[in-house]
Structure 1
């Protein structure tokens, strides 16, 4: 019995911790994209599966959105998301998005340049490391590699 109580306490703590990563995400997001881009729609569906309501906007010039949010030149992707106080650029894996909202660093957002195969919304198996960057005032720095 003496071993059971600590085991139950540790197990309970782990279960509570497992639920907080998802709970840390905001309830809503706005995804800006080109109307013809299906992979953006798939990313939105996967984000909704995590409990985030996604409003899709496909009738604005996407380049102007990227400029407005301060995205570093040359590091864009097919869609831009405003979520909470942050910007998520492209097919960023959800582990990086969850980490962003757990840690809440002093940054404008995170991104993943291009449209890497195997990321959320992009079909196929992962082929290379995904180098997620963070940015502030148009300047990028490494954030994490997955």
Structure 2
């Protein structure tokens, strides 16, 4: 009888483990315009970094930027949302993971414009850029600085 119970437990764990691992991946909702290659590249970066992504093509990403409280001055080409935080622009996955681990009282993170060398904007040139932590009142501070190269 113990052997049978052990075999059943092994069978259940063999099927359940992949499902649980998939469910444990944090989901980022991304609002982007259709056909934007850099948005797709950023989504690929997120998936490769362990995030689940639900991408939605929208006519105006500014609507979502405003909805989630990101100031227009920090705008970029896409807006994401994860676990109560907004993500504006080409935010590196490492900073999203840090945000989720530290859970600061903030609206979210923003990388304004589309800096070359940021995730989704890779190429031969890498410009310096900042990832900003955005507060509810619109103030922001540097969360992480990238030197470029």
Greater relative contact order structure (CA < 8 Å, 6+ sep): 1
Asked whether the equivalents of residues 118 and 126 of structure 2 are also in contact (C-alpha less than 8 Å), the reply is: no
Residue 71 of structure 1, CA deviation: 0.8
Aligned Cα RMSD in Å?
A: 1.8
Q: Tell which deviates more after alignment, 123-132 or 111-120.
A: 123-132
Show the 5 A alignment for 1:55-74.
Answer: 55-74=54-73
Cα shift readout 1:27-71 (whole Å, capped 9, x = no counterpart)? 211100011211101111111112211111113521111111111
TM-score (normalised: structure 1): 0.76
Secondary structure at the counterpart of residue 72 of structure 2: coil
Residue pairs, 1:1-146, within 5 angstroms:
27-125=26-124, 127-142=126-141, 143-146=143-146
Query: Per-residue deviation at 1:113?
Result: 0.3
Q: Tell me, which stretches of 5 or more residues in structure 2 are unaligned?
A: 1-23
Cα distance in 2 between the residues matched to 1:69 and 1:26: 22
The count of corresponding residues between Structure 1 and Structure 2 is: 122
